[in-house]
Structure 1
Amino acid sequence: MTLAALLTVATGCTGADTDRTSTTTAAPLVPSGLSWRSWQGIELPVALQGPRLIEGAVASDFDRSPAGAALAAIHATVRMSLAPDGQWPQVGQRMLAPGPGRDKWATARAQVSITAPASDSVPTILGYTLAAYTLTEARVDIYSAYTDHSITRNRSTVIWVVDGWRLLLPDPVTESPVTAVDSAPADMIPLIRP
């Protein structure tokens, strides 16, 4: 199963559209000290804004900033989709916001077996845009490129809870969070590899 298919099976990652506008902040929009770490066959960005703690499939300790929220969204969407059997419950409990969306994801995930890293059509994460940001919620569009030169956008929402950012899964899911796009937008914050 491809990563895009897993992301769709995983109940979706899009938040409801709202009229909320982004809040300006002095916090960085662009991650600093960026490096890459391979996990389950995909390269994930790691920066000074997080994650600062990785335990098995769970990544945590992201800054309460636009860059921290974006990195949390990227890690949560990938890790919820590719966490191997035996590790996905921890991802659900520590990286996803509680609620009916998470419960439906857990039911769907329990019916899928992942025992090895992804090997088919693994995307390269290109960057992200922030549709909205406040200290309690961020809407992040994540852009990825595939080996066939296609590009996808994954719409996600993270919310701040007591111990950090968590991915909010919608209920009900009204559309797939992953859609094909012609190209990455000009205002995308690129995640540049060294």
Structure 2
Amino acid sequence: MTKEHSLPDPRGAIALVMLAGLLATTGCGTTDPDQTTTSTTSPASLVPSGLSWRSWQGIELPVAQQGPRLIEGAVASDWDRSPAGAALAAIHTTVRMSVAPDGQWALVGQRMLASGPGRDKWATARAQISITSPAAETVPTILGYLIATYTDTEARIDIYATYPDHSITRNTATVVWTADGWRLLLPDPVIESPVTAVDSVPASIVRLNRA
């Protein structure tokens, strides 16, 4: 069991963005720490294959055979319609919408977020801040994920990351399948931040190991 507590003080650019309210719209609220995967898919479909890492805006992001197979500047796309594809889409989108620099964030919103009032409110909030350089200090290291729920049209993903001070966060994100693949669904209204500090990582996490 993981133990929840309030999110610690901001750590670097991405944490500042989260606490400023931009990532407060990336999920449907925190999940039960004892929640387990409810997908009926095979275990193999949960784990990405051919995993590698690519740095973007100072943060290492996972790339695998399940996606993204196309990266154009700030935008990543082309995901498998599978649990692993949904998880990778959730990871990339939550990071890219958070730290995309001025001049690129609007394209991330247009191509990686599901349309609706949640996306509109995120765009309004994002327009009020400026990001001009990569995250330089105390950036998160993505550890892995749990598939909280999965169907071929919607998935809820718990993303785990750690920071240089050894703190751990869980970010809950929901993605929906659209005509052009997985897109992050931003809820409206936002009930609570999906970013929660936890004391440990569940044993059942799909770990994204570095080579």
Give CA deviations for 1:89-143 in whole Å, capped at 9, x if unaligned.
Answer: 1100100000111000000000110110011210100000010000000000000
Which residue of structure 2 lines up, in the alignment, with residue 191 of structure 1? 208
Cα drift, residue 163 of structure 1: 0.5
Question: Unmatched 5+ residue regions in structure 2?
Answer: 1-11, 32-36
Q: What is the TM-score with the length of structure 1 in the denominator? A: 0.94
Give the stretch that moved more between structures: 102-111 or 22-31. 22-31
The answer to whether 1:169 aligns with 2:186 is: yes
Which secondary structure state, in structure 2, belongs to the residue aligned with residue 180 of structure 1? Answer: strand
Q: What one-letter code is carried by the residue in structure 1 that aligns with 2:14? A: L
Which residue of structure 1 lines up, in the alignment, with residue 155 of structure 2? 138
Match 2:103 to one of 82, 86, 110: 86
Which residue of structure 1 lines up, in the alignment, with residue 41 of structure 2? 25
Mapped contact 2:168–2:199 kept (Cα < 8 A): yes
The answer to whether 1:126 aligns with 2:143 is: yes
Cα drift, residue 6 of structure 1: 1.1
Q: What one-letter code is carried by the residue in structure 1 that aligns with 2:28? A: G
Quick one: distance in 2 between partners of 1:88 and 1:106? 9
Which residue of structure 2 lines up, in the alignment, with residue 15 of structure 1? 28
Match 2:55 to one of 38, 42, 65: 38
Quick one: distance in 2 between partners of 1:86 and 1:64? 30
Which secondary structure state, in structure 1, belongs to the residue aligned with residue 175 of structure 2? Answer: strand
4+ runs deviating over 4 angstroms: none
Quick one: distance in 1 between partners of 2:15 and 2:87? 18
Which residue of structure 2 lines up, in the alignment, with residue 3 of structure 1? 14
Which residue of structure 1 lines up, in the alignment, with residue 167 of structure 2? 150
Which residue of structure 2 lines up, in the alignment, with residue 99 of structure 1? 116
Alignment of 1:62-77 (within 5 A): 62-77=79-94
Q: What is the TM-score with the length of structure 2 in the denominator? A: 0.87
Mapped contact 2:101–2:133 kept (Cα < 8 A): yes
Which residue of structure 1 lines up, in the alignment, with residue 7 of structure 2? none
Mapped contact 2:39–2:147 kept (Cα < 8 A): no
Identity, % of aligned positions: 72
Q: What one-letter code is carried by the residue in structure 1 that aligns with 2:134? A: P
